[in-house]
């Protein structure tokens, strides 16, 4: 290992020499569709987005997936690259990245049967469980034509100035569909034996190498663990990797899990670096560099994985939404103040799945770089921010950075507000990072933070501006017996750690009800082997797809009832891309959900409820109330009486539909405006 000027992370900052080109460090920004691809002015916005990450010194950027033809669209009219005029638009991106000495490869993605449109095609006519469109079976001529389209797409990427391409061969998209008997039932030269099933992938890679010459980066994203029944065996995965190397790829990236897999692969409850064991297993099989990926979100983990020899490069995708300057900041060693991706999916993937532009809960500026440029204040003021939850922390830090004199008051002994309780939930331990990040930003910006101070309106008379970010208070529903000693609030359980019995009823099946159920079931964050066993992943890789015959779920420590008054699906409003995981988790642990409940009374015996036209007594030791919140606005009357104007943000403004995403973005927007 050569001496590195960045001794805290010497492996990260060791350049990677590919012979014809050199990557300046071992961190790659993984491919992410942002929604800008199809946006008006999308190329200008993507150019600014990628340029900022290049300026942040990432070693290599991979763009979001670009289709090689219309059949390969992810959705109707999504981005494709089939003509020189389209290639010219991409030059905005490549020029912007190269101006900052960055390197960028374009991902070629043919969605196959995941294409959400009627033109979608696949090796066989088998519908995916996550799409309503049945694909058309590709003819032999169609297959040959599609290979040519991949090569044409790579040629146009080269014309557009990209340093190379990444060929998307994983996550269950077209190339992956050819590889496995799950989706390939063909009996011609493209199906049957593994040699035949591999042919499509290999002809694409060798065709692109032949067309592009030796000085063009080819990354192949290889599905190392399909996590679907009838997926690849480990032996097949290894054979493919060796053949891909021979076909001319420079780097192999790790793909984990098809989109239809029922195993969480990137959500917050996946242990950090939880799937790197798969890449490590491949290390001894090929000689070209390997990239490992999935839930790696800090330089510490990246360094550790590189040092252990698990991989040659680390891919992080969402962490670059959270912080464009992750790599540059890592140069300052463990004292860095990186804004850590907390794996929530709330503003990135959940946005995309609801047709919105991606962004980031902890960094709402992500993908909005051209629209959101914060300027120093021309008239610095003396500003009080009341409340140190996500809204208040975000607002106060940006105000202070703009030159205002800011005092942030928090009644608790520490910052974080309701988010402090989120950190207690197993699998949400990374949420602490957000509090750490904003706390440090407050110090660095010169804001004065006053904790243990519950302010009154009279404390605020001397300020030029007042921001009320006093958040929310848990709701106590009016049920007879609600003041019984059996009854606990969620802060009693999560913050004050009051003892909870073996049989529990939770009132309210929203986000917090689900989180409290997980807390009562688990209490500790899982290590990698327990997580894999619980979700049915076979770390010995004996079966096709890397799945166990049966998940190994430990017996739950408690019997839990999760109750709600409405009749809809419990947890129906949880995140689009994570709700299914929470619902599966509590189901696997035997939590009984009851809907359409009327709460009759709480007594020494438990809680009496009516549902489905019957009255039932749930004999429980405790009842935990997770029945939403109301805005904490007790200051407003005093402020009005004293004629003090104030701004109001986050939960204090509106408790309904509140989450940290809204709280932080309202805080930032106001902070940028005053």
- Give min distance, CB of 568 to ligand FAD, in A: 20
DSSP state, residue 259: T
Contacts of 101 (CB under 8 A, 6+ apart): 24, 54
Q: Is 274 left (phi over 0), alpha (psi -120 to 50) or beta?
A: alpha
Supply φ then ψ for residue 152, to 5 degrees: -60, -40
101 is a contact residue toward ligand NAP (CB under 6 A): no
Q: Which is nearer to ligand NAP, 211 or 423 (CB)?
A: 423
Q: Which is nearer to ligand NAP, 247 or 349 (CB)?
A: 349
Coil/strand/helix, residue 77: coil
436's tokens: 């750490």
Torsion angle defined by CA atoms of residues 26, 27, 29 and 31, in that order, rounded to the nearest 10 degrees: 50
Question: Which residue is associated with the tokens 């799950």?
Answer: 182
Residue nearest to ligand NAP (CB): 510
Site for ligand NAP in 337-396 (CB under 6 A): 346
- Of these partners, ligand SF4, ligand NAP, ligand FAD, none, which one is at the site of residue 627 (CB under 5 to 8 Å by kind)? ligand NAP
367 is a contact residue toward ligand SF4 (CB under 6 A): no
- Give min distance, CB of 582 to ligand NAP, in A: 7
228 is a contact residue toward ligand SF4 (CB under 6 A): no
The full 3-state SS of 498-524, as one line of letters, equals CCCCCEEEEECCCHHHHHHHHHHHHCC
360 is a contact residue toward ligand SF4 (CB under 6 A): yes
- Of these partners, ligand FAD, ligand SF4, ligand NAP, none, which one is at the site of residue 565 (CB under 5 to 8 Å by kind)? ligand NAP
For ligand SF4, which stretch binds (CB under 6 A), given 113-121, 140-148, 359-367, 555-563? 359-367
- Give min distance, CB of 560 to ligand FAD, in A: 16
Q: How far apart are CA 655 and CA 639, in angstroms?
A: 20
Q: Which one of 9, 173, 490, 599 is the catalytic residue?
A: 173
For ligand SF4, which stretch binds (CB under 6 A), given 323-331, 346-354, 413-421, 443-451? 346-354
541 is catalytic: no
- Give min distance, CB of 598 to ligand SF4, in A: 37
For ligand SF4, which stretch binds (CB under 6 A), given 227-235, 306-314, 336-344, 583-591? 336-344
Q: Which is nearer to ligand NAP, 307 or 573 (CB)?
A: 573
- Residue 11 near residue 26 (C-beta atoms within 8 A): yes
Site for ligand NAP in 462-501 (CB under 6 A): 475, 477
Bridge pairing between strands 472-474 and 629-631: antiparallel
How big is the chain, counted in residues?
A: 674
Interface residue with ligand SF4, options 342, 352, 398, 487 (CB under 6 A): 342
For the beta carbon of residue 178, count every other beta carbon within 10 angstroms: 25
- Residue 647 near residue 670 (C-beta atoms within 8 A): yes
341 is a contact residue toward ligand SF4 (CB under 6 A): yes
Contacts of 574 (CB under 8 A, 6+ apart): 511, 514, 582, 583
Contacts of 512 (CB under 8 A, 6+ apart): 490, 626
Q: Is 530 left (phi over 0), alpha (psi -120 to 50) or beta?
A: alpha
Interface residue with ligand NAP, options 42, 257, 508, 606 (CB under 6 A): 508
- Of these partners, ligand NAP, ligand FAD, ligand SF4, none, which one is at the site of residue 410 (CB under 5 to 8 Å by kind)? ligand FAD
- Give min distance, CB of 297 to ligand NAP, in A: 17
Classify residue 67 by burial, with Cβ atoms within 10 Å: 0-12, 13-18, 19+. Answer: buried
Site string for ligand NAP, 553-582 (x = CB under 6 A): -----------xxx------xxx-------
- Give min distance, CB of 54 to ligand NAP, in A: 32
Q: CB-hemisphere CA count at 13 Å for 315? A: 26
For the beta carbon of residue 605, count every other beta carbon within 10 angstroms: 12
- Of these partners, ligand SF4, ligand FAD, ligand NAP, none, which one is at the site of residue 644 (CB under 5 to 8 Å by kind)? none
For ligand SF4, which stretch binds (CB under 6 A), given 304-312, 344-352, 400-408, 592-600? 344-352
- Residue 338 near residue 437 (C-beta atoms within 8 A): yes
Contacts with ligand SF4: how many residues (CB under 6 A)?
Answer: 14
DSSP for 40-62 reads: TTHHHHHHHHHHHHHHTT-SEEE
576's tokens: 């689009």
For the beta carbon of residue 262, count every other beta carbon within 10 angstroms: 16
Interface residue with ligand NAP, options 269, 509, 623, 644 (CB under 6 A): 509
318 is a contact residue toward ligand SF4 (CB under 6 A): yes
Which helix (H) or strand (E) segment holds residue 63: the answer is strand 60-66
343 is a contact residue toward ligand SF4 (CB under 6 A): yes
- Of these partners, ligand FAD, ligand SF4, ligand NAP, none, which one is at the site of residue 471 (CB under 5 to 8 Å by kind)? ligand FAD
653's tokens: 């403004």
Coil/strand/helix, residue 255: strand
- Of these partners, ligand NAP, ligand SF4, ligand FAD, none, which one is at the site of residue 508 (CB under 5 to 8 Å by kind)? ligand NAP
The binding site for ligand FAD (CB under 6 A) comprises: 344, 346, 386-392, 409-412, 417-419, 421-422, 425, 454-455, 469-472, 494, 511-512, 515, 632, 635, 650-651, 658-661, 663
List residues near ligand NAP by CB under 6 A.
Answer: 346, 475, 477, 507-513, 515, 564-566, 573-575, 626-629, 657-659
Residues with a catalytic annotation lie at 173
List residues near ligand SF4 by CB under 6 A.
Answer: 318, 321-322, 341-348, 360-362
């Amino acid at each position: 290992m050569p001496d590195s000027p960045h001794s805290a992370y010497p492996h990260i900052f060791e350049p990677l020499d590919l012979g014809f080109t050199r990557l300046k460090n071992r961190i790659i920004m993984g491919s992410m569709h942002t929604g800008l691809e199809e946006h008006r002015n999308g190329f200008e916005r993507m150019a600014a987005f990628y340029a900022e990450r290049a300026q942040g010194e990432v070693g290599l950027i991979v763009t979001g997936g670009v289709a090689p033809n219309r059949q390969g669209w992810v959705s109707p009219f999504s981005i494709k690259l089939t003509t020189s005029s389209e290639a010219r638009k991409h030059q905005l991106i490549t020029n912007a990245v190269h101006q900052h000495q960055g390197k960028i490869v374009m991902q070629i993605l043919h969605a196959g049967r995941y294409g959400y449109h009627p033109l979608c095609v696949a090796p066989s006519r088998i519908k995916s469980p996550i799409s309503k469109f049945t694909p058309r079976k590709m003819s032999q001529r169609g297959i040959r034509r599609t290979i040519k389209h991949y090569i044409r797409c790579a040629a146009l990427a080269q014309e557009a100035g990209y340093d190379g391409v990444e060929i998307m061969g994983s996550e269950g998209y077209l190339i992956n569909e050819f590889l496995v008997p799950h989706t390939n039932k063909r009996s011609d030269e493209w199906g049957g034996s593994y040699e035949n099933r591999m042919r499509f992938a290999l002809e694409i890679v060798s065709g692109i190498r032949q067309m592009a010459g030796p000085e063009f980066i080819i990354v192949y994203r290889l599905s190392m663990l399909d996590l679907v029944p009838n997926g690849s065996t480990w032996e097949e995965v290894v054979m493919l990797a060796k053949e891909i190397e021979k076909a001319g790829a420079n780097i192999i990236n790790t793909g984990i899990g098809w989109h239809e897999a029922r195993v969480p692969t990137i959500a917050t409850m996946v242990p950090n670096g939880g799937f790197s064991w798969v890449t490590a297993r491949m290390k001894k099989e090929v000689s070209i560099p390997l990239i490992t990926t999935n839930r790696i979100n800090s330089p510490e983990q990246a360094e550790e994985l590189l040092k252990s020899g698990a991989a040659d490069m680390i891919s992080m995708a969402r962490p670059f939404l959270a912080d464009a300057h992750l790599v540059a900041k890592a140069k300052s060693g463990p004292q860095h103040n990186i804004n850590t991706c907390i794996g929530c999916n709330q503003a990135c993937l959940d946005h995309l799945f609801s047709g919105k532009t991606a962004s980031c809960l902890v960094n709402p500026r992500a993908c909005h770089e051209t629209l959101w440029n914060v300027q120093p204040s021309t008239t610095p003021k003396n500003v009080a921010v009341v409340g140190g939850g996500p809204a208040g922390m975000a607002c106060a830090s940006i105000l202070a950075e703009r030159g205002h004199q800011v005092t942030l008051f928090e009644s608790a002994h520490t910052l974080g507000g309701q988010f402090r309780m989120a950190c207690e939930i197993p699998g949400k331990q990374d949420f602490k990072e957000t509090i750490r990040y904003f706390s440090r930003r407050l110090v660095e910006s010169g804001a004065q933070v006053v904790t243990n101070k519950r302010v009154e309106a009279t404390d605020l008379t001397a300020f030029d501006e007042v921001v009320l970010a006093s958040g929310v208070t848990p709701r106590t529903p009016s049920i007879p017996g609600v003041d019984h000693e059996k009854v606990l609030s969620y802060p009693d359980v999560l913050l004050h750690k009051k003892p909870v019995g073996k049989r529990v009823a939770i009132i309210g099946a929203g986000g917090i009800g689900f989180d409290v159920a997980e807390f009562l079931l688990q209490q500790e964050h899982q290590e990698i082997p327990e997580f894999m066993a619980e979700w049915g992943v076979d770390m010995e890789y004996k079966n096709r797809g890397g799945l166990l015959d049966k998940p190994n779920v430990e017996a739950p420590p408690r019997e839990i009832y999760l109750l709600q008054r409405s009749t809809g699906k419990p947890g129906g409003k949880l995140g689009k891309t994570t709700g299914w995981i929470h619902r599966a988790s509590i189901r696997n642990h035997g939590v009984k959900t009851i809907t359409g409940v009327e709460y009759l009374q709480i007594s020494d015996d438990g809680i009496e409820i009516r549902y489905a036209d019957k009255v039932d007594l749930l004999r429980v030791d405790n009842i935990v109330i997770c029945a939403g919140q109301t805005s904490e606005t007790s200051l407003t009357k005093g402020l009005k009486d004293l004629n003090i104007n104030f701004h109001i943000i986050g939960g204090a403004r509106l408790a309904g539909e509140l989450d940290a995403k809204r709280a932080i973005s309202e805080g930032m927007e106001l902070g940028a405006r005053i």
